[in-house]
Amino acid sequence: MSVLVYTENWDGKFKKLSFELVSYATGVAKMIGASVTAVSIGRVEETELKKLGNYGAAKIITVNNDGLNVLDNQAYASVISEAALKEHATIIIISNNNSGKAIAPRLSVRLKAGVGSGVSRLPISLNPFTVYKRTYSGNAFAHLVIKSDVKILTLAQNSFDLAETPGNTCTIENLSVAVDGSVIKTSVRDVQKQTGKILLTDADVVVSGGRGMKSPDNWGPLTELASLLGAATACSRPVSDEGWRPHEEHTGQTGKIIAPNLYIAVGISGATQHLAGISSSKYIVAINTDKDAPIFEAAQYGIVGDAMKILPKLVEAVKDLKK
């Protein structure tokens, strides 16, 4: 019996998210007395694969096939389900990121496995198998019972602490699968990648601006503060709708749902829809001229005042800190 975890790679490398997944899988495996098998698709060096062992993976199944260089949801679900059956996996852990959301539901139908999406804690009970999950965009949490024999859990990013398993050893095994042109239905015409930028969903610290920034020309000190803190930049919906900032930066119910350690909301009033995207942040800082803005109810630290005056002072204070 095993807990199977799908660990995606990015150009042959894993990232914090991958290790969170393995840490979580190890936690679940301990609860049910099983071992952890990680599945990796694509070319990843052995030294990189071994890193998954540091977080408790006992076995790593690696699937190398050039046909799988494109994310084809159907083919990926088929490969992972093959590994799950081979390993007699009763629980499958996948990230709740873009590719996880693409694969998990297909895998669910293949294996007739119920899904707990966007979990952030270990299961709250094994019998009945119950997970704690975010619903109503963070306005409520549900106890979800998964009734099927095989269960799939998708883990919210930045929600589970890394836990190393000292002394753990792991084996690596190749799984060959038949993937040819008739299987892969997705063809890629064009790829645009941003490089050298911290991804909003990966960031530990996020500095975000709202309508209170008043103009797209005022973003200088905000991006400077973000860069000094090693933070990603984000924005509220009106800002992206106005085209002041790109859509990819919109955090909120219909934009990105994030859970950084620190979210600094500058000139954001904190409408329910915005809070839906950020309420899982560990710390929220609010900077707003309106002392009655709802963002202060969600925040642990607040400054009532003009962002244009406060941001440059924060930039100076962080610079002083670094001296």
Partner 1 sequence: MKILVCISNVPDTTTKIRFAEGNASVDVTGIQWVINPWDELSLTRALELKDDAASGVKSVTVVHVGPAAAEPTIRKALAIGADDAIRVNADSSDAYFVAAQIAEVVRKEQFDLIMCGIESSDYNGSLVGGMISEFLGIPSVSAVSGIKIENGQPVMSREIDGGKEVVTVPVPAVAIVQKGIAKEPRIAAMRGIMMARTKPVKLVEPIAVEPLTQVTVFEKPAPRAACKYIDAENPSQLIDLLQNEAKVI
- Within residues 74-93, the interface with partner 1 by CB under 8 A covers 74, 77
- Binding flag, residue 141, partner 1 (CB under 8 A): yes
Interface residue with partner 1 among 36, 41, 113, 239 (CB under 8 A) is 113
Check residue 69 for interaction with partner 1 (CB under 8 A).
Answer: no
CB closer to partner 1, 171 vs 300: 300
Q: Which of residues 116-135 bind partner 1 (CB under 8 A)?
A: 116-118, 130, 133-135
Residue numbers 212-241 binding partner 1 by CB under 8 A = 229, 241
Binding pattern to partner 1, positions 170-209, x when CB under 8 A? ---------------xxxxxxxxxxx-x-x-xx-xx----
Shortest distance (Å) from residue 168 CB to partner 1: 27
Q: Maximum Cα–Cα distance for the chain, whole Å? A: 61
Smallest gap from residue 86 Cβ to partner 1 (A): 20
C-beta separation of 136 from 118 below 8 A: no
Q: Which residue type does 1 have?
A: M
Nearer to partner 1, 178 or 321 (CB): 321
What is the distance between the alpha carbons of residues 37 and 159, in angstroms, rounded to a whole number?
21
Q: Quick one: which of 254, 272, 276, 266 has its CA closest to 303?
A: 266
- Closer residue to partner 1 in complex, CB, 114/209: 114
d(CA 51, CA 88): 24
Query: For the sheet containing 35-41, what is the strand order?
Result: 125-126, 129-135, 114-119, 151-155, 89-95, 2-6, 35-41, 59-63, 171-174
Rounded least distance, CB 156 to partner 1, Å: 10
Find the helix packing angle between 73-86 and 98-111, rounded to 10°: 60
Site for partner 1 in 255-314 (CB under 8 A): 255, 261-262, 271-273, 276, 279, 282-283, 285-286, 296-306, 309-310, 313-314
Using CB under 8 A as the binding rule, whether residue 323 contacts partner 1 is answered as no
For the bound state, the minimum distance from the C-beta of residue 62 to partner 1, rounded and expressed in Å, comes to 20
- Residue 220 CA to residue 236 CA, distance in Å, equals 17
CB of 309 to partner 1, least distance (A): 7
DSSP string of 66-113? GGGGS--HHHHHHHHHHHHHHTTEEEEEEESSHHHHHHHHHHHHHHT-
Shortest Cβ 73–partner 1 spacing (Å): 5
Nearest 5 degrees, angle CA 269-CA 301-CA 322? 115
CB-neighbour burial class of residue 220 (10 A; exposed 0-12, middle 13-18, buried 19+): exposed
Q: How many residues bind partner 1 (CB under 8 A)?
A: 102
The reply on whether position 10 binds partner 1 by CB under 8 A is yes
Q: Which of 69, 171, 223, 254 binds partner 1 (CB under 8 A)?
A: 254
Which residue in 27, 37, 57, 72 binds partner 1 (CB under 8 A)?
Answer: 72
Sign of CA dihedral 221, 226, 232, 234: negative
Options 32, 42, 43, 71; binder of partner 1; rule CB under 8 A: 71
Given candidates 42, 67, 105, 294, which one binds partner 1 under the rule CB under 8 A?
A: 105
